[in-house]
Structure 1
Amino acid sequence: MVKPSILVLGTAHLNNPDNGDLFKIKTDDILSEHKQLEIKGVVDSLKKFEPTKIALEILTDDHVYTNKTYNDFLVGEYELTRNEYHQIGFRLAKEMNHKEVFCVDWNNSEPDIPDIELWTKEHASEKYNDIAKELENTIAKTEDFLRSHSIRDFLLYLNHNDFNKANQKFYMNFALMGNKSNPVGAMWTAKYWYYRNLLIYKNIVELIESDAERIFVLYGAGHIHLLNQFINESELFEVHKVIDYI
């Protein structure tokens, strides 16, 4: 049976945003001539997937504005920022002659989602301290890898099964914070993290218009374990591997 194809590429946020992510790494100057050549090589390789749609980690409400900037970029009236959805997403869409890109993110603050940052300030938590220490070590190791490797090698590193399993382990340990009367970690993980990724998955699936679709998804590496889990378990897609394209 013919199914739509999908390729999910996990990445770092190349513009170093202060967006509240648990896993934030600092990247070198992505706009340097050397890094720009490396990114061009990655985009050229991704063209082999022949995507029909490109899905980006941008809020769905920002679809109109995002596509205005994308179309300005197509006619030479918009200079790309360091952001990965510009450097990889917009460039790949242009190479494939796409008229638009697709925003599939959800990231709202809901009343029943615990404020983890506030909770950790008000409560001593050995579990949180252990998670934070291990996370700092992982971030340092990842930043060291990026400093000594190409963008292509860095993306392969972020999309390796071992890295994604280790990343997911942080969220599973995060879920253990709190106590029986206030299981704040479990509530945050279920009501925010899993819910967000399920909505992203739903938005991606809704892009399918025919079995001929080939959807390329560009997302922060922290999401890759769950997105791949949902996509594989749905059996709606022919799932492609990053290593086969970059």
Structure 2
Amino acid sequence: MIEQLTSIIQQGDIIKLYKFINSPEYIVNDHKIYLDLMQLDDEIAFEWVSKYWYYRNLRIAHNIKKSLKPETKRAIILYGAGHNYLLKQQLEDDSSITVIQYGSCPKSRA
């Protein structure tokens, strides 16, 4: 994944880069880094992921939801790729929110 990402960055194609870092494969592999950190025999890494990283993403999701007004129909959220997995999960847990990631086709709303 790193070689692929490096190659895309070197090409300078921002659209290709955004599609790549929003692909399901990249998102899962990126999140796996945090899961792997929690498995290390290292209390500091475990504490950082469990107490900081998850908390940070919960606060971001909370602030996104808080900023949406009842009449809001659409919003664009831009965040770093490392937040993708958890923010998507936390926002999709709210049945009033439909998450459509860049590069994916929206579900039919008929």
TM-score of the pair, normalised by structure 1: 0.40
Distance 1:163 1:210, change over 3 A: same
Instruction: Tell me how far apart the structure 2 counterparts of residues 185 and 178 of structure 1 sit (CA, whole Å).
Output: 8
* Seq. identity, %: 27
1:196 aligns to what? Answer: 56
1:160 aligns to what? Answer: 23
Describe the SS at the equivalent of 1:238. coil
Offset, 1:205 = 0.4
Give unmatched runs, 5+ long, in structure 1.
Answer: 1-137
Higher helix share: 2
Match of 2:77 among 178, 197, 217: 217
Cα RMSD for the two superposed structures = 1.9
Give unmatched runs, 5+ long, in structure 2.
Answer: 106-110
- The reply on whether 1:237 has 2:97 as its aligned counterpart is yes
Query: Across the two proteins, how many residue pairs are aligned to each other?
Result: 105
Instruction: Tell me how far apart the structure 1 counterparts of residues 95 and 12 of structure 2 sit (CA, whole Å).
Output: 35
Instruction: Tell me how far apart the structure 2 counterparts of residues 188 and 212 of structure 1 sit (CA, whole Å).
Output: 34
Offset, 1:176 = 1.5
The aligned amino acid for 2:86 is L
1:175 aligns to what? Answer: 38
Contact kept in structure 2, 1:178 and 1:184, CA below 8 Å: no
Superposed counterparts of 1:1-246, under 5 Å: 138-148=1-11, 150-178=13-41, 183-244=43-104
Offset, 1:153 = 1.1
Offset, 1:243 = 1.5
The aligned amino acid for 1:239 is V
Describe the SS at the equivalent of 1:219. coil
The aligned amino acid for 1:233 is D
The aligned amino acid for 1:166 is N
Contact kept in structure 2, 1:175 and 1:184, CA below 8 Å: no
Instruction: Tell me how far apart the structure 2 counterparts of residues 142 and 244 of structure 1 sit (CA, whole Å).
Output: 19
Instruction: Tell me how far apart the structure 2 counterparts of residues 231 and 192 of structure 1 sit (CA, whole Å).
Output: 19
Higher relative contact order (CA 8 A, sep 6+): 1
Describe the SS at the equivalent of 1:242. coil
Offset, 1:244 = 4.9
Offset, 1:202 = 0.4
2:108 aligns to what? Answer: none
Offset, 1:208 = 1.4
